[in-house]
Amino acid sequence: MSAPASPSCLSCKHFNHAPADLEAALPGLSSLSSAYAAVRGDDGICAVHQRYVTASSVCPAFA
Amino acid sequence: MAEIAQTARSRVIARRSPWGDLFRKEDWWSIWIGLGLIAVAVALFAGGGSIKWIAVAPQKWSHLSDVTLQLKQHALQYAALFVLWSVSFGIGAAALGIKISRFLPAFLLVYLAAGSIYFLGLWDQAAHYNLEPPLVALGLGLLVSNTLGVPRWLDPGLRVEFYIKTGIVLLGASLPLTLIAWAGPVAIVQAAIVSLATFGVIYFAAVRLGLDRRLAATLGTGGAVCGVSGAIAVGGAVGAKKEEVSVAISLVVLWAIVMIFLLPLVARALNLSTGVAGAWIGTSEFADAAGLAAAQTYGGYAGNVPGIAGNPDAAVSAFTLMKVIGRDMWIGVWAFVLSLIATARWERTAIQSKSRAAEIWNRFPKFVLGFIVASAVVTLVARGFDYAAYKKEVVPALVAPLQAFRTWAFTFAFLSIGLTTRIREFASIGARPFYAFTTGVVVNVVLGFVLSTQVFNEFWNRLGQ
Over residues A26-41, the pLDDT tens digits come to 999 999 999 999 999 9
**pLDDT reported for residue A6:** 54
Nearest CA in chain A to B291: A32
Closest CA to B421 of B291, B248, B215, B249: B249
β-partners of residue B61 are B123
In the sheet that holds A44-46, the strands lie side by side as A15-16, A44-46, A51-53
Residue B36 in 3-state DSSP?
Answer: helix
Q: Verify whether the Cβ–Cβ distance A53 to B239 is below 8 Å.
A: yes
Across the range B288-312, mean pLDDT stands at 92
Closest CA to B218 of B331, B364, B323: B331
Q: How many beta-carbon pairs below 8 A join chains A and B? A: 218
Q: How far is CA A61 from CA A8, A22, B339, B352, in A?
A: 10, 21, 21, 11
User: Are B227 and A33 spatial neighbours (Cβ–Cβ below 8 Å)?
Assistant: yes
All residues of chain A having their beta carbon less than 8 Å from the beta carbon of residue B21 are: 38
Q: B367-386 pLDDT, tens per residue?
A: 999 999 999 999 999 998 99
User: Are B202 and B224 spatial neighbours (Cβ–Cβ below 8 Å)?
Assistant: yes
Q: How far apart are CA B67 and CA B58, in angstroms?
A: 8
**pLDDT reported for residue B6:** 46
CA B137 from centroid of its chain's CA atoms: 15
Residue of A16, A36, A49 with shortest CB distance to B96:
A36
Q: Does B17 touch chain A (CB under 8 A)?
A: yes
Q: Does B169 touch chain A (CB under 8 A)?
A: no
Sign of torsion, CA B359 B360 B361 B363?
Answer: positive
| Residue B430 dihedral angles phi and psi, to the nearest 5° | -75, 165
Q: How far apart are CA B28 and CA A21, in angstroms?
A: 21
Q: How far apart are CA B253 and CA B256, in angstroms?
A: 5
Q: Does B348 touch chain A (CB under 8 A)?
A: no
Chain B interface test: which of A11, A51, A56, A57 (most B C-beta within 10 Å): A51
Return all residues near B33 (Cβ < 8 A) that are at least 6 apart.
B88, B89, B92, B166, B169
| Chain B nearest CA to A30, separation (Å) | 7
Chain B interface test: which of A52, A57, A62 (most B C-beta within 10 Å): A52
Return the DSSP state at B61.
Answer: B
Which burial class, exposed, middle or buried, applies to B197 when counting CB atoms under 10 A from its CB (0-12, 13-18, 19+)?
middle
Q: What angle do CA B176, B177, B178 make, to 5 degrees?
A: 90
Chain A interface test: which of B6, B15, B168 (most A C-beta within 10 Å): B15
All residues of chain A having their beta carbon less than 8 Å from the beta carbon of residue B327 are: none
**pLDDT reported for residue B13:** 42
* pLDDT tops 80 at residue B5: no
Closest CA to B141 of B127, B126, B157: B157
Residue of A29, A53, A60 with shortest CB distance to B249:
A29
**pLDDT reported for residue B10:** 42
Q: How far is CA B379 from CA B60, B384, B418, in A?
A: 29, 10, 35
Q: Verify whether the Cβ–Cβ distance A33 to B161 is below 8 Å.
A: yes
Q: How far apart are CA B217 and CA B431, in angstroms?
A: 17
How many beta carbons lie within 10 A of that of residue B32, not counting itself?
Answer: 18
Return all residues near A7 (Cβ < 8 A) that are at least 6 apart.
A58, A62
* pLDDT tops 50 at residue B232: yes
Q: How far apart are CA B309 and CA B421, in angstroms?
A: 33
**pLDDT reported for residue B137:** 94
All residues of chain B having their beta carbon less than 8 Å from the beta carbon of residue A47 are: 1-2, 4-5, 8
Across the range B145-151, mean pLDDT stands at 94
Q: How far apart are CA B389 and CA B413, in angstroms?
A: 34
Chain B interface test: which of A8, A12, A26, A32 (most B C-beta within 10 Å): A32
Q: B169-226 pLDDT, tens per residue?
A: 999 999 999 889 988 899 999 999 999 999 999 999 999 999 999 999 999 999 999 8
Q: What angle do CA B439, B440, B444 make, to 5 degrees?
A: 125
Say how many residues make up chain B: 465
Q: B243-274 pLDDT, tens per residue?
A: 999 999 999 999 999 999 999 999 999 999 99
Q: How far apart are CA B192 and CA B184, in angstroms?
A: 12
Return all residues near B293 (Cβ < 8 A) that are at least 6 apart.
B134, B135, B137, B138, B260, B410, B414, B417
Q: Verify whether the Cβ–Cβ distance B228 to A3 is below 8 Å.
A: no
Q: Does B368 touch chain A (CB under 8 A)?
A: no
All residues of chain A having their beta carbon less than 8 Å from the beta carbon of residue B366 are: 38
Closest CA to B281 of B61, B453, B91: B453
Closest CA to B134 of B323, B421, B412: B412
Q: How far apart are CA B331 and CA B348, in angstroms?
A: 23
Q: Verify whether the Cβ–Cβ distance A52 to B11 is below 8 Å.
A: no
Can you spell out the DSSP letters for B70-122? Answer: HHHHTHHHHHHHHHHHHHHHHHHHHHHT--HHHHHHHHHHHHHHHHHHHHHHT
At residue B88 the predicted structure's pLDDT band, cuts being 50, 70 and 90, is very high
* pLDDT tops 60 at residue B12: no
All residues of chain B having their beta carbon less than 8 Å from the beta carbon of residue A57 are: 239, 351-354
All residues of chain A having their beta carbon less than 8 Å from the beta carbon of residue B162 are: 34, 36
Average pLDDT taken over every residue of chain B: 93
Residue of A32, A36, A54 with shortest CB distance to B252:
A32
**pLDDT reported for residue B353:** 84
Work out whether strand A51-53 and strand A44-46 pair parallel, antiparallel, or are unpaired.
antiparallel
Return all residues near B261 (Cβ < 8 A) that are at least 6 apart.
B135, B294
Nearest CA in chain A to B246: A26
All residues of chain B having their beta carbon less than 8 Å from the beta carbon of residue A62 are: none
Q: Verify whether the Cβ–Cβ distance A50 to B7 is below 8 Å.
A: no
Work out whether strand A15-16 and strand A44-46 pair parallel, antiparallel, or are unpaired.
antiparallel
Say how many residues make up chain A: 63
Q: B353-367 pLDDT, tens per residue?
A: 888 898 899 999 999
Return all residues near B250 (Cβ < 8 A) that are at least 6 apart.
A27, A28, B425, B426, B428, B429
**pLDDT reported for residue B186:** 92
Residue of B236, B253, B422 with shortest CB distance to A43:
B236
Return the DSSP state at B350.
Answer: S
Q: Verify whether the Cβ–Cβ distance A25 to B356 is below 8 Å.
A: no
CA B367 from centroid of its chain's CA atoms: 11
Q: How far apart are CA B320 and CA B3, in angstroms?
A: 40
Q: B14-73 pLDDT, tens per residue?
A: 455 667 789 889 999 999 999 999 999 999 999 999 999 999 999 999 999 999 999 999
* Element at A46 (helix H, strand E): strand A44-46
Residue percentage of chain B with pLDDT more than 70: 96
Chain B residues 409-428 with a CB less than 8 Å from chain A = 417, 420-422, 425
| Chain B nearest CA to A22, separation (Å) | 9
Q: Verify whether the Cβ–Cβ distance A37 to B236 is below 8 Å.
A: no
Q: How far apart are CA B419 and CA B143, in angstroms?
A: 8
| Residue B437 dihedral angles phi and psi, to the nearest 5° | -65, -40
**pLDDT reported for residue B427:** 85
Q: Verify whether the Cβ–Cβ distance B364 to A38 is below 8 Å.
A: yes
Residue of A20, A27, A46 with shortest CB distance to B97:
A20
